[in-house]
Amino acid sequence: MRQFIVFGRRKPTDKTPASMCPVFRMRIFAPNHVVAKSRFFYFLSSMKKIKRANGEIVSVHEVFEKNSNTVKNFGVWLRYDSRSGTHNMYKEFRDTSLSAAISKLYAEMASRHRSRSQSIQILRTATLTSSQCKRPNVVQFHDSKIQFRMLHRVPRVADKKFRSTFKANKPCAFF
């Protein structure tokens, strides 16, 4: 998913000149700019009663992450339609960019809730500090002394006659 800022308005007519038409701005997550424009008119028609025939896109800009070298915590508020109704939800993700976190969101919603990407509406996103995070799958990585085993650094014996097929204990990956 990529993040786009889409600006659009109602088409100016003789009754309402261009200076009187308000410009609407939306942050849309979509795979490309064509889908972003389509989603913009989908939301604009439901909120402001402006159809694609009566509206126009002023500009579309893709937004990139300023610093994608650090890992950040993201909170996402969303609404989605399931088979039984409409549900509101809050989820937390840990990633280097907001676009990557939204990609994780769509994958998780498809796997855990069987929801299609068209039925998901992202209401709000926020970058969270470690004290604001609630979900255990995000909070577990906030420990400063967290360690991960490096199993690819297992020492190997060069000679075949000293090498056994089965080992009774797990290999030590720390030197």
65-71 mean pLDDT? 91
Residue 80 maps to which CATH number?
3.10.20.10
Shared-domain flag, residues 80 and 46: no
Residue ranges making up the domain that contains 98: 72-139
Shared-domain flag, residues 7 and 58: yes
- Please give the pLDDT value at position 151: 73
Shared-domain flag, residues 59 and 77: no
Smallest Cα–Cα separation from 110: which of 102, 134, 100? 102
Does residue 152 belong to any structural domain of this protein? Answer: no
**What is the C-alpha end-to-end distance of the chain, expressed in Å?**
41
Those residues whose C-beta lies under 8 Å from the C-beta of residue 142, and which sit 6 or more positions away, are: 130, 133
Q: How many domains does one find in the chain? A: 2
For residue 48, pLDDT beyond 70 = yes
Does residue 76 belong to any structural domain of this protein? Answer: yes
Those residues whose C-beta lies under 8 Å from the C-beta of residue 98, and which sit 6 or more positions away, are: 3, 65, 74, 125, 127
d(CA 54, CA 60): 18
- Please give the pLDDT value at position 158: 61
Shared-domain flag, residues 76 and 59: no
Does residue 148 belong to any structural domain of this protein? Answer: no
For residue 22, pLDDT beyond 80 = yes
Q: How confident is the model at residue 72 (pLDDT cuts 50, 70, 90)?
A: very high
- Encode pLDDT of 109-123 as tens digits: 999 999 999 999 999
- Please give the pLDDT value at position 19: 87
> Are the C-beta atoms of residues 74 and 63 closer than 8 Å to each other?
no
- Please give the pLDDT value at position 138: 94
Does residue 147 belong to any structural domain of this protein? Answer: no
- Encode pLDDT of 77-97 as tens digits: 999 999 999 999 999 999 999
Does residue 134 belong to any structural domain of this protein? Answer: yes
- Encode pLDDT of 128-151 as tens digits: 999 999 999 999 999 989 988 777
Three-state secondary structure string covering the chain: CEEEEEEEEECCCCCCCCCCCCEEEEEEEECCHHHHHHHHHHHHHHHHCCCCCCEEEEEEEEECCCCCCCCEEEEEEEEEECCCCEEEEEEEEEECCHHHHHHHHHHHHHHHCCCCHHHEEEEEEEEECCCCCCCHHHHCCCCCCCCCCCHHHCCCCCCCCCCCCCCCCCCCCCC
For residue 175, pLDDT beyond 60 = no
